[in-house]
Amino acid sequence: MYKVLIADDEKNIRLGIQAMINREYPEFATSIAGDGQEALETIMENEPDIVITDIKMPRLDGIQLIKELQQRKIQSSIVILSGYDDFTYAKEAIKHKVKDYLLKPVNRIELFKTLNMIIEEMEHRQKMTYQHMDEYRASQLNYILLNPNIQQEVVEDLYRKMKIESYPHGYYVGIIEADGDVEGEDFLGKINQLILPNNSTIPFLDKDGRVTIISADIELFTRLKEHLGRDRHLVFSIGISEKEQDLRELKKTYGQAATALKYHFLYPRRQIILFENVKGKPDVPLLPVDLINRISNMLGTERENEIKTNLRQVMDFDIIAHSNISYLENLNREINDTIFKGFFKRLGDESLVTFELLNKIDNIYNFDSFHEYFHALEDLLMRIHEYNKQMKSVYSEQKYMDRAIAYIRENYHKDLNLAVVANYISLNYSYFSHMFKEYIGQNFVDYLKMVRVENAKKLLKESDFKILEISEMVGYKNPKQFARVFREVEGISPKEYREMNG
Q: b/e string for 11-49 if b means 16 or more Cβ within 10 A?
A: eebbebbbebbeeebeebebbbbbbbbbbbebbeeeebb
Average pLDDT, the chain: 86
Same domain for 303 and 231: no
pLDDT for the residue 449: 92
Residue 148 lies in a domain: no
Write the CB contacts of 480 (distance below 8 Å, at least 6 apart in sequence). none
Same domain for 306 and 215: no
pLDDT for the residue 393: 67
Q: Are the beta carbons of 331 and 343 closer than 8 angstroms?
A: no
Residue 95 lies in a domain: yes
For residues 459 and 181, give the distance between their C-alpha atoms in angstroms, rounded to a whole number: 69
Residue 130 lies in a domain: no
pLDDT digits (tens, 9 = 90+) for 456-474: 999 989 898 998 999 999 9
pLDDT for the residue 89: 62
Q: Is the pTM of this model over 0.75?
A: no
pLDDT digits (tens, 9 = 90+) for 364-400: 999 989 999 999 999 988 888 888 777 676 565 677 8
For residues 249 and 243, give the distance between their C-alpha atoms in angstroms, rounded to a whole number: 11
* Residue closest to 340 by CA, chosen among 322, 318, 356: 356
* Residue closest to 432 by CA, chosen among 356, 352, 355, 350: 350
Asked if residue 353 has pLDDT above 60, the reply is: no
pLDDT for the residue 128: 53
CATH label of the domain that carries residue 175: 3.30.70.270
SS3 track for 222-273: HHHHHHHCCCCCCEEEEEECCCECCHHHHHHHHHHHHHHHHHHHCCCCCCEE
Residue 254 lies in a domain: yes
Q: Within 10 A of 371 (CB to CB), how many other CB atoms are there?
A: 12
Asked if residue 450 has pLDDT above 90, the reply is: yes
Q: For 21-43, what is the mean pLDDT?
A: 92
Residue 115 lies in a domain: no
pLDDT digits (tens, 9 = 90+) for 190-200: 888 888 766 67
Same domain for 477 and 438: yes
Q: For 270-277, what is the mean pLDDT?
A: 95
Domain boundary among 277, 308, 342: 277
Q: 491 lies in which domain range?
A: 398-500
For residues 34 and 220, give the distance between their C-alpha atoms in angstroms, rounded to a whole number: 48
Q: Within 10 A of 402 (CB to CB), how many other CB atoms are there?
A: 12
Domain boundary among 59, 79, 106: 106
Same domain for 293 and 272: no
For residues 205 and 187, give the distance between their C-alpha atoms in angstroms, rounded to a whole number: 10
For residues 302 and 293, give the distance between their C-alpha atoms in angstroms, rounded to a whole number: 17
Cα 135 to Cα 142, 250, 321: the distances in Å are: 11, 18, 38
| pLDDT band for position 340 (cuts 50, 70, 90) | confident
- Point out the least confidently predicted range of 113-127, 142-156, 261-275, 300-314: 113-127
CATH label of the domain that carries residue 469: 1.10.10.60
Same domain for 299 and 273: no
Residue 121 lies in a domain: no
Residue 119 lies in a domain: no
pLDDT digits (tens, 9 = 90+) for 60-89: 888 888 888 888 888 888 998 887 666 666
| pLDDT band for position 184 (cuts 50, 70, 90) | confident
Asked if residue 484 has pLDDT above 90, the reply is: yes
Q: What is the percent of the chain where pLDDT is above 70?
A: 89
Tell me which H or E stretch contains 109: helix 108-146
pLDDT for the residue 348: 53
SS3 state of residue 391: helix
Asked if residue 163 has pLDDT above 70, the reply is: yes
Cα 195 to Cα 170, 223, 228: the distances in Å are: 19, 9, 12
- Point out the least confidently predicted range of 168-177, 316-325, 351-360: 351-360
Domain boundary among 343, 376, 409: 376
Asked if residue 428 has pLDDT above 90, the reply is: no
Number of domains in the chain: 4
